[in-house]
């Protein structure tokens, strides 16, 4: 499923290395305003976070299983945020992507936007790692057998998307025991490292995912290091 939705426009793909969650959220809010005012192109941020539990609009504290003391000891925090969905985990070894895209100019349909994001990981896993992944009719995200490998959580403001995906690459999967992921009790979590049996090169994965997002959404990627300039 290769798209022409972006019409060949530029997609700025920014490698932010590791960034605290609160700083990344603040950056997203500023990018949404800049995209709304047409001061920047559509933008994809690729990064990792220190350990953090994020609580979406449907989240409940009962889904946090780790004690505050143990979470603090592990260097983790909890963030209540405006994306859709419930409770999830971000941490080292997980590739997080935030896609700032103007739905007014492109897809218009949020459902199609989410479907295309899922398609990115179905294709990356198949084309680069010979891993069969799929959507699930009950739960958003991308799955390998009965285990989730990519979680999605999207927000929209002024028809500009933000938040995005969390792809388990070399993630410490034991940290998902801190929560009930997305409120789902009968499914597991997996990672690219687990399904391939090999620890993965995060920079290589970033490039593969960045190019796949651009291709599937119909953009030309421009890879950059560091935060977008907003002046």
Active-site positions read 182
Reading phi first (left if > 0) and then psi (alpha if -120 to 50, else beta), residue 113 is in: alpha
Other CB atoms within 10 Å distance of the CB of residue 231: 3
Alpha carbon dihedral 88, 109, 37, 55, in 10-degree steps, equals -10
Q: How many residues does the chain have?
A: 231
Number of H helices, E strands in the chain: 5, 11
CB 219 within 8 A of CB 23: no
């Amino acid at each position: 499923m290769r798209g022409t939705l972006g019409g060949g426009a530029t997609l700025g793909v920014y490698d932010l290395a590791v960034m605290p969650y609160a700083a990344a959220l603040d950056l997203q809010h500023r990018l949404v305003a800049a995209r709304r005012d047409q001061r920047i192109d559509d933008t994809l941020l690729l990064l990792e976070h220190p350990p953090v539990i994020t609580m979406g609009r449907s989240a409940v504290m009962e889904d946090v299983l780790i004690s505050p003391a143990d979470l603090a000891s592990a260097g983790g925090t909890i963030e209540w945020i405006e994306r859709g969905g419930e409770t999830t985990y971000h941490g080292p070894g997980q590739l997080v992507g935030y896609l700032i895209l103007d739905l007014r100019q492109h897809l218009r349909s949020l459902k199609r936007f989410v479907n295309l994001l899922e398609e990115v990981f179905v294709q990356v896993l198949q084309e680069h790692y010979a891993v069969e992944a799929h959507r699930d009719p009950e739960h958003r995200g991308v799955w390998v057998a009965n285990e989730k490998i990519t979680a999605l959580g999207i927000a929209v403001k002024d028809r500009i998307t933000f938040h995005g995906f969390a792809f388990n690459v070399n993630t410490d999967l034991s940290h998902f025991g801190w929560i009930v992921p997305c409120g789902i009790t009968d499914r597991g979590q997996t990672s690219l490292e687990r399904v391939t049996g090999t620890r993965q090169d995060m920079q290589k994965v970033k490039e593969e995912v960045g190019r796949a997002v651009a291709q599937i959404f119909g953009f030309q990627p421009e890879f950059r290091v560091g935060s977008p300039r907003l002046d």
